[in-house]
Copies of this chain bind each other. A is one copy, B any other.
Amino acid sequence: MKTTDIRICFIGDSFVNGTGDPLCLGWTGRVSAAAIQQGYAVTSYNLGIRRETSADIAARWRDECARRLPAQSDGRVVFSFGANDTTVEQGRQRLSLEATLHHLRAMAQDAQRHYLTLLVGPPPVAEAAHNRRIMALCHAMAEVAQALGVPYLPVCERLVQGRTWVQEAAQSDGAHPRQGGYAALAALVQAWPAWWFAEAR
């Protein structure tokens, strides 16, 4: 057992929560369990909330993370959001691209001052038009993340190509996959060289 006391806050939306996974792990539980099984002393805090946009997350992430990441621990933060920002409700997108990128910039800059920070892009849903907006956001997020020096993992395109995520979402509520989709997203994170416990290291 590696003894450094690592505590990770995963902060974001319902996909971070793992909504729809009958095993109640989501991708965050799967990547945390894999790290523990590699011998890391990881405490995992799941701070995903359904329906939240980046504006909602910006309003709470600092308080919720600060309570969970005491100064004497090795505190880390993983952000993941964006699908709700790009939802169209009553003819309007919930948040403009500019607003999402503004919140991303503010949160990531602040988080990097205190914690090791990663950004996982928004996964797809079962609706093609919505996925086009998510994909556009993914590309814009990549530029912001690069400018800030925050490691960023785009996942939308690869999850669409992999099919399981979108098929499971279509068979449930149109947005949330079941265990296969979450396992696929967990596999992308674990294969990501920037992930702190990447498999191929």
CB neighbours (8 Å) of A25 from chain B are 24-25, 29
A64 to B56, CA, bound (A): 13
The B-contacting residues of A in range 33-74, CB under 8 angstroms, are 33, 36-37, 43-46, 49-51, 56, 60, 64, 67-68, 70
- Does A23 sit at the interface, judged by CB under 8 A? yes
Residue on B with the closest CB to A33? Answer: B24
B43 A50 Cβ-Cβ under 8 A: yes
A7 to B67, CA, bound (A): 23
Residue on B with the closest CB to A5? Answer: B50
A24 B45 Cβ-Cβ under 8 A: no
B30, B37, B51, B60: the one contacting A22 at CB < 8 Å is: B37
A166 to B56, CA, bound (A): 41
B49 A36 Cβ-Cβ under 8 A: no
Q: A24 and B17 in contact (CB under 8 A), knowing A43-B50, A49-B68, A67-B49?
A: no
A97 to B46, CA, bound (A): 30
Residue on B with the closest CB to A22? Answer: B36
Q: A24 and B19 in contact (CB under 8 A), knowing A43-B50, A60-B67, A67-B49?
A: no
CB neighbours (8 Å) of A117 from chain B are none
- Which A residues fall within an 8 A CB radius of B? 7, 14, 17, 19, 22-25, 29-30, 32-33, 36-37, 43-46, 49-51, 56, 60, 64, 67-68, 70
